[in-house]
Structure 1
Amino acid sequence: MSLKTMFSDFKQLTKVGLSVSVVFTSITGYLLGAETIQTSVVLLLAIGGYLMVGASNAFNQVIEKDIDALMQRTKNRPLPSGRMSTTVALIIAAIFTIAGIAILYSINPKCALFGAISIFLYTSAYTPLKAVTPLAVFVGAIPGAIPFMLGWVAATGNFGIEAGFLFMIQFFWQFPHFWAIGWLQYEEYNKAGLHMLPMDKKDKGAVVQIIFYTCVMILMSVAPVLKVTGKLYIYPITAIIIFLLGCLMLFYAFKLYKSEQNTDARKLMLASVFYITIVPIIYVVDKFLH
């Protein structure tokens, strides 16, 4: 095996793209909470966050090796394709877990605690539950919502109402995002025995839930304008911009409700990625304008 293939497999096992987006969200959370920005903490948060997500993904792929082999999208991953042994993947996952939690602990103990909770829930609850019940998405939304909040906790050492709201924004965002993916991959997931849509059906009922959770997400995202979220406050103009971005997701959710077509589910999924990338940046820009 070439070094290039090994490196590519390592990137697939730890899902570098996803890890980078998590690190990005954590750093925006840090910038929101920090009185003064410490480069060393940003660096530790980035490395610790990457290791935390990498560990979760590696454990996930070890557990789902046989399921991944059944799906077109995942059958060429390092484990189902046989390019990497389960032992090697587990060693990588274990090293990433220990190093990630240790690095987050060096920022503060609460960061390490949330990092550990995230890895534990993702691997021990979310991953096995996917084959059992659609409620797996609710469980998976908890570790998925930790990054934004983790940044605030890294900056302040506190988990208060501000960190809670950052958590809620990302928590409710997960539902439209993952159900849009569940819609797109429905046949594949079904074949592999995974339950990734609410009520396990690709129908208007699933889209009604997508619309509902998108509305809750928008409410959570604009709530800081009401000065009910401690030190986390945004200007009215910022709230309007965020509201309009949320409406973009709602627009595609309603289109999906009408058409029930994969093309609209893809647009909704892309709009959700755009939302979770842009909103933290808008929050940070707003903070530095105060």
Structure 2
Amino acid sequence: MKTAVGTAKHSNMIMTFADFKEITKARLAVSVVFSSVAGYFLGAVEINFLSVFLLAFGGYCMVGASNAYNQIIEKDLDALMDRTKNRPIPSGRMSLNTALVIAIVLTVLGVVSLYFLNPKTAMFGAISIFLYTSVYTPLKTKTPLSVFVGAFPGAIPFMLGWVAATNEFGIEPGTLFMIQFFWQFPHFWALGWMLDEDYKKGGFKMLPTGKKDKGTALQIIMYTIWMIVISIIPAFGFTGRLHLSITAAIIVFLMGVAMLIFAFQLYEKRDNKSARKLMLASVSYITLMQLVYVVDKFSVTLF
């Protein structure tokens, strides 16, 4: 009997943890934390691991809060779509009150953690929550321009790390912001292409032309080109303390070209398989690009 009760409690704990991961979109939150930490390493003169912890913890809380608010607001629409109908709220596994408490607690923890780093970091974190939940989320059913608005909070993490390390906002974090800003468009339009039919069930308007056509694919190509250009600008000495060696710039450029090839394939084929390849390529690009930036900084410093 005790074993059965213990097993049941263990199962409930696992389900509760799984729902927490789902309501905060843990995988997305971890990728955002990675971007923030990469930005911190780029900006820091000396690495303070307490600061890294506060940035990672605060960043996860802020992203988790944004996603929780998002799922509260979109609960009825989530129930209509195949990919979201089993989320904790529409499935009935989590009440609205519980989700709201989680969102509020994460907001407070996130802002406080980032404030300990410096007020600017906390301010940008708070702005990202506001834009994501109060502007981007309501616009998703109104206009495809929601992706443009959503690109602003989505581009903050890379920049946020630099601000956390330096307590300054200038050309360096501005450049990091622009890299991730332009990256958002090919990434989310590729995702929107793949999920277009499902998105339409919820009334979401994610593609720039509203269709899976050449117009959308052409815009994906254009934004990918801009992303590549911005990504290699630090190699030319225009971005203050943010530097990139010629070798690293070539690597970043070639990775961008690889992603651009997938964008052209989508333009030619205009199918979900090509969109999926582009989406996966975009995820690889943003992660590897940030790693190249960080490794390049410390390689130049050491050698």
Structure-2-length-normalised TM-score? 0.95
Instruction: Note if 1:153 corresponds to 2:169.
Output: no
Structure 1: gaps of 5 or more residues: none
Query: What CA distance in whole angstroms lies between the structure 2 residues aligned with 1:100 and 1:2?
Result: 27
User: 1:201 maps to what in 2?
Assistant: 211
Alignment match of 1:260 (pick from 258, 270, 277) = 270
Q: 2:26 aligns with which of 2, 7, 16?
A: 16
Aligned partners of 2:115 and 2:154: how far apart in 1? 20
Please list every run of at least 4 consecutive aligned residues from structure 1 whose deviation after the TM superposition is greater than 4 angstroms.
none
> What letter is aligned with 2:248?
T
Is the radius of gyration larger for structure 1 or structure 2? 2
Within 5 Å, which residues of 2 pair with 1:161-176? 161-176=171-186
Match of 2:142 in 1: 132
Task: Write the distance in 2 (CA, Å) between the matches of 1:137 and 1:115.
Answer: 19
Residue 2 of structure 1 and its aligned partner are, at CA, apart by 1.4
Q: How does 1:20-99 map to 2 (within 5 A)?
A: 20-99=30-109
What is the rounded CA distance, in whole Å, between the counterparts of 1:137 and 1:250 in structure 2?
Answer: 20
Alpha-carbon distance in structure 2 between the residues aligned to 1:33 and 1:192: 41
Pairing of 1:169-188 with structure 2 (within 5 A): 169-188=179-198
May I ask how many residue pairs the two structures share in their alignment? Answer: 290
Deviation at 1:200, TM superposition (A): 1.0
Partner of residue 106, structure 1 = 116
The residue type equivalent to 2:127 in the other structure is I
Percent identity, aligned pairs only?
63
- For 1:233, what is the secondary structure of its paired residue? coil
Measure how far apart 1:202 and its partner are: 1.1
Q: Give distance in 2, aligned partners of 1:284 and 1:165.
A: 15
Counterpart-to-counterpart distance in 1, 2:41 and 2:263: 31
Q: Matched residues in 2 for 1:255 and 1:21: separation?
A: 26
Deviation track 1:189-218 (CA, whole Å, cap 9, x = no partner) reads 112110000021110100000000000000
Cα separation, 2, equivalents of 1:28 and 1:5: 32
- How big is the shift at 1:289? 1.7
Alpha-carbon RMSD across the aligned residues, in angstroms, is 0.7
Report 1:268-279 matches (<5 A).
268-279=278-289
Partner of 2:201: 191
CA distance in 2, matches of 1:199, 1:135: 10
State the SS of the aligned residue for 2:244. Answer: coil
Look up the SS of the partner of 2:107 in the other structure.
helix
Deviation at 1:261, TM superposition (A): 1.0
Q: How many angstroms apart in 2 are the aligned matches of 1:148 and 1:194?
A: 27
Q: TM-score, normalised by structure 1?
A: 0.99
The equivalent position to 1:238 in structure 2, one of 231, 248, 254, is 248
| Amino acid corresponding to residue 144 of structure 1 in structure 2 | G
AA partner of residue 270 (structure 1): L
Please give the per-residue CA displacement for 1:73-97, whole angstroms capped at 9, x wherever unaligned.
0000000001100010001000100
Query: Are residue 248 (structure 1) and residue 247 (structure 2) matched?
Result: no
C-alpha deviation, 1:6, in angstroms? 1.1
What residue ranges of structure 2 are gaps of 5+ in the alignment? 1-10
- SS of equivalent residue, structure 1 residue 159: coil
